[in-house]
């Protein structure tokens, strides 16, 4: 099975494509493609993998990825359960840097947007007022056609290009390594980890999954993700713990075991190493900020 989109998502007759996708869960395949992609999650939650970065996402997530930057928005495991009633919704725009033609693309007026395109090679997470504005504009764009749609897309890109609320996602850009074989391997690893991180995972098991020795896999994984596999697994578990702490449905002792930590003391230690605070402090601070936002 191939896990790389090899054909253009944009018909030759169109300058760009915008889609609103409703599905039980997001496509769980780690993949890449030659188009820029602007994604706005309306409904759904899980873990977002972009290049060497893994981070939880929820409704409101807005990300711009550049060409051939591997990515996947993987829904939480509960979305894949047999009798799940959950669903997801996302608006996605696909376009090329030369969607207005090579001539205009090279002109001075496009300088700021071209800088945005260069930054997007590392992936950009959009936050704050810029996110609010662009998400509204994307909803409007769904209902536009013809030249109105192209002008509106340009306005969206101009807003992003002028904003200081677009943060880099990856540590670096690894386009030269993003081959089909590489992406297939990482797809297997991410899929396995996300299905099993709440249990004990042995490095040998993951290495065997991609036909590597333990030593070779350790070197390979670090070269791709800029961290050891054990650190990656720890961060996935801590990300999930943060989500559970936000929900207030479980006590802290139970959360540690639910996230795959074998002892409460190890959970507290690893959580503090990653988040720089204890789980109970993190939960209390989050609830305090949440209460303040409601008062505002």
Read off the pLDDT of each residue in 146-165 and give the average, rounded to a whole number: 96
pTM: 0.83
Mean pLDDT (whole number) for 141-169: 96
- What single-letter DSSP state applies at residue 172? S
Average pLDDT in the chain: 89
Indicate the SS3 state at residue 23: strand
Please indicate whether residue 296 or residue 153 has the higher confidence score (pLDDT). Answer: 153
Q: What is the pLDDT of residue 4?
A: 39
pLDDT over 90 (residue 229): yes
Q: Which of 135, 169, 122 is nearest to 42 (CA)?
A: 135
Q: pLDDT tens, 37-67?
A: 999 999 999 999 998 888 999 999 999 999 9
Mean pLDDT of 235-262: 91
Q: Specify the domain boundaries for CATH 1.10.10.60 within the chain.
A: 197-295
pLDDT number for residue 7: 42
Min mean pLDDT across 2-11, 64-73, 143-152, 273-282 is at: 2-11
Residue with tokens 């990825």: 65
Answer whether residue 180 shows pLDDT above 50.
yes
pLDDT of residue 244: 92
pLDDT value at residue 2: 35
Other C-beta atoms within 10 Å of 113: how many?
18
In the sheet that 36-43 helps form, which strands lie side by side, from edge to edge? 16-23, 88-95, 36-43, 62-65, 124-126, 166-168
Task: Name the β-bridge partners of 65.
Answer: 37
CATH superfamily of 16-168: Jelly Rolls (2.60.120.10)
DSSP per-residue letters across 110-152: GHHHHHHHHHGGG-EEE-HHHHHHHHHHHHHHTT--HHHHHHH
CATH 2.60.120.10, the chain: domain bounds:
16-168
Kindly write down the DSSP assignment for every residue of 142-159, as one continuous string. Answer: TT--HHHHHHHHHHHHHH
| Topology (CATH) of 197-295 | Arc Repressor Mutant, subunit A (1.10.10)
Question: Could you tell me the pLDDT band of residue 17, with boundaries at 50, 70 and 90?
Answer: very high
Determine what percent of the chain is predicted with pLDDT higher than 70.
Answer: 90
**What are the start-end ranges of the E strands in 34-119?**
36-43, 46-50, 53-57, 62-65, 71-75, 88-95
CB neighbours of residue 24 within 10 Å: 13
Looking at 111-115, 134-138, 291-295, which range is the least confident one?
A: 291-295
The number of CA neighbours under 13 Å toward the Cβ of 153 is: 23
pLDDT-derived band at 179, boundaries 50, 70, 90: low
């Amino acid at each position: 099975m191939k896990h790389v989109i090899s054909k253009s998502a944009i018909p030759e007759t169109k300058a760009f494509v915008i889609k609103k996708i409703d599905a039980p869960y997001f496509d769980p395949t780690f993949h890449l493609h030659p188009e820029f992609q602007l994604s706005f999650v309306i409904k759904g939650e899980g873990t977002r993998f972009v290049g060497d970065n893994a981070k939880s996402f929820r409704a409101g997530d807005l990300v711009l990825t550049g060409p051939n930057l591997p990515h996947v928005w993987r829904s939480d495991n509960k979305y894949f359960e047999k009798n799940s009633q959950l669903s997801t919704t996302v608006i996605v725009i696909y376009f090329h840097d030369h969607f207005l033609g090579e001539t205009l693309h090279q002109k001075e007026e496009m300088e700021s947007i071209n800088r945005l395109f260069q930054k997007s090679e590392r992936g950009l997470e959009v936050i704050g007022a810029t996110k609010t504005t662009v998400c509204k504009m994307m909803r409007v764009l769904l209902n536009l056609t013809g030249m109105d749609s192209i002008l509106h897309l340009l306005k969206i890109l101009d807003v992003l290009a002028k904003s200081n609320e677009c943060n880099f996602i990856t540590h670096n850009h690894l386009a030269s390594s993003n081959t089909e074989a590489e992406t297939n391997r990482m797809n297997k690893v991410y899929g396995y980890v996300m299905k099993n991180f709440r249990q004990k995972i042995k490095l040998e098991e993951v290495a065997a999954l991609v036909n590597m020795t333990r030593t070779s896999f350790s070197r390979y994984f670090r070269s791709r993700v800029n961290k050891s596999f054990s650190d990656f697994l720890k961060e996935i578990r801590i990300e999930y713990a943060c989500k559970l702490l936000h929900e207030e449905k479980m006590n802290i002792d139970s959360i540690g075991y639910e996230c795959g930590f074998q002892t409460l003391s190890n959970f507290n230690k690893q959580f503090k190493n990653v988040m720089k605070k204890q789980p109970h402090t993190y939960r209390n601070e989050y609830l305090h900020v949440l209460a303040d936002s409601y008062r505002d």
